[in-house]
Amino acid sequence: MTTTSSDVTRPVAPDTPRGRWAPVVALAAGIAILVSSEFLPAGVLPTMARDLGISEGTAGLAVAATAIAGALTAPTIAMVLPRMDRRTLLVGLLVAAAVANLAVAVAPGFVVLLLGRLVLGAAIAGYWSFAFAVGTYASPGRDHVISTSIALGVTVATIVGLPLGSLLADGPGWRWGFAAAAVLSLIGAVALTRALPPVPAHPGAGMSMLRQALRNPRLVAGVVVLVVAVLGNFLAYPFIRIAIDETSPGAGMWMLVLWGVGGLFGNLAAGRFSHRLRAVVTVAPLLLAVGLVLTVLAESTPVMALAMLVWGFGFNMVPVGTQLWVTRVEPERTESALALQVTAFQVAITLGAALGGAVLDEYGVELVLLIGAVAAAVAAAGFGALRVSRG
């Protein structure tokens, strides 16, 4: 008989506001800190490249490095640590992120920076793989709230983290952003320790669960389409500041805020319409494609502002929609399904940042944006062709 996540004895959430929301807030704050750390290079890319004496395309590999580690970590961490208490695991990953960010903050050269980013990638992938399952264990029956809140943490990272990093790059220096991320990671670890109960591992966690999940053809097809959708975004996203500066020099911080505001509403919209998941996962990459094309066509600051809102809205629907999508397509092995979703993100980020950097150095940011738009449109068609329910 297949063991499902519902077979594990779950705690009853205390009937108080703090008991209901403390785990949700702590988990969302943790992912916000980690994602801020992951995408800080996008906000400081030109300054970081000059300081390290490398091209902007090469500096974009600072984003790809985290994704490389994440792609390897997400599907394997449950196999390496199949019985570890999941609260302990998440706390340890935040501590590892603190060490990684500190290494980047003091890095004397690009090699040390890349090593720090690799450690950060492992921390992000592991945290993202388990946060949803941990949240639904600590607050049972609130899967939509958990998914939306975790994705909201990602949006907070884009609204606050990236513009702040950009501001620091233009002021005291890009390294201060990573130093702040190290401190926040430690604070997040303490918050998780206090907010979460012990969370036992899923009884079937490990290689067997992953193999069974991979036998689900709809899950595998959806993960492949997700790679294409996320690739469309991350071909361009590491170089968003460069695209903005071509049309609206001096407005980089505020444009990144608009991207994040669009993302906030995208998160909420995906959660609100989660009962129509097929529509959500189809519309999201389509809007992403529109946002990328608008960015190419923008010849004024108002049009660029609209492009940032649409881009942010479309892409930030993707994490919420696809997280719920994979758990509905594979409801009996959600831990492995979510690990595959995270792997898809990290593979796409790796490929996108590397390909985008190569195209940028050779042909410029406009072609990068257009290739991303095509990939996003293809992903919209792919999700439109896939069913969510069985049968």
Query: pLDDT at position 335, please?
Result: 72
pLDDT band at 53 (very low <50, low <70, confident <90, very high): confident
> Is there a contact between 105 and 53 (Cβ–Cβ < 8 Å)?
no
For residue 206, name the pLDDT band (cuts at 50, 70, 90).
Answer: low
Residue ranges per structural domain of the chain:
16-384
pTM: 0.74
d(CA 255, CA 245): 10
- Tell me, what's the pLDDT at 215? 81
Whole-number Å distance between alpha carbons of 158 and 32:
9
pLDDT at 115 > cutoff 80: yes
pLDDT in tens, 244-288: 888 888 777 788 888 888 988 998 898 788 788 899 999 999 999
pLDDT digits (tens, 9 = 90+) for 314-338: 998 998 888 888 888 887 777 778 7
CATH: 1.20.58.100, 1.20.1250.20, 3.90.1010.10, 3.30.300.10. Which one for 16-384? Answer: 1.20.1250.20
Confidence of residue 295 (pLDDT cuts 50, 70, 90): very high
Quick check: 139 pLDDT over 70? yes
In this predicted structure, what is the pLDDT of residue 391?
A: 41
Q: Which of 23-37, 58-72, 304-318 has the highest mean pLDDT?
A: 304-318
- Give the tens place of pLDDT for each residue, 16-36: 555 578 888 899 899 989 988
With 60 as the cut, is the pLDDT of residue 4 above it?
Answer: no
Cα distances (angstroms) measured from residue 261 to each of 9, 154, 257, 258, 274: 39, 12, 6, 5, 20
Q: Is the dihedral of CA 301, 306, 307, 308 positive or negative?
A: positive
Check residues 213 and 266 and name the one with the higher pLDDT: 266
Instruction: Classify the phi-psi angles of 143: left when phi > 0, otherwise alpha if psi is within -120 to 50, otherwise beta.
Output: alpha
**Model confidence band, residue 370 (pLDDT cutoffs 50, 70, 90):** very high
- Residue 170 pLDDT > 70: no
Secondary structure class of 249 (helix, strand, coil): coil
Q: What is the pLDDT of residue 36?
A: 84
State the alpha helices, DSSP H only, in 238-333. 240-247, 252-272, 277-297, 301-329
pLDDT higher than threshold 60 for residue 14: no
Other Cβ atoms less than 10 A from the Cβ of 189: the count is 21
Q: Which amino acid is at 202?
A: H
Question: 277 is written with which tokens?
Answer: 């998941």
Distance CA 120, CA 107 (A): 14
User: What per-residue confidence (pLDDT) applies to 18?
Assistant: 53
Nearest Cα residue to 127 out of 101, 95, 102: 95
Which pLDDT does position 13 carry in this prediction?
47
Q: What percent of the chain has pLDDT over 70?
A: 86
pLDDT tens-digit map of 83-107: 788 889 999 999 999 999 999 999 8
